[in-house]
């Protein structure tokens, strides 16, 4: 995986391709980074609790039905 150096704000996570996403989106079961690096087991295993936001999952399902 080629990693791009990126500077994101303190409330954001820097994806390997240079995109910034909200830290709350990390390890929530949805790949928000184009390469999926926000869902890597090596990253998510370091968190004390899984970050699953049911509202986000429902919104994703609702969008898929459109």
Query: What pLDDT is stored for residue 63 in this prediction?
Result: 46
Best CA proximity match to 28, nearest among 13, 17, 10, 44: 44
> Where do the structural domains in the chain lie, given as residue ranges?
12-65
CB 60 within 8 A of CB 30: yes
Largest CA distance in the chain: 36
Long-range contacts of 38-42 (CB under 8 A, 24+ apart): 38/13
pTM (global) more than 0.85: no
Task: State both tokens at 57.
Answer: 């999952």
The per-residue pLDDT string of the chain (66 residues; one tens digit each, 9 = 90 and over) reads 566 676 899 999 999 999 999 999 999 889 999 999 999 999 888 876 556 555 554 444 444 444
Task: State both tokens at 1.
Answer: 């995986």
């Amino acid at each position: 995986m080629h990693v791009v150096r990126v500077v994101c704000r303190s409330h954001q996570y820097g994806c390997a391709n240079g995109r910034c996403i909200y830290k709350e989106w990390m390890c929530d079961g949805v790949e928000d980074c184009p390469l999926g690096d926000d869902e890597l087991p090596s990253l998510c295993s370091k968190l004390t609790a899984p970050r699953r936001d049911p509202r986000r999952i429902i919104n994703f399902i609702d969008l898929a039905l459109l």
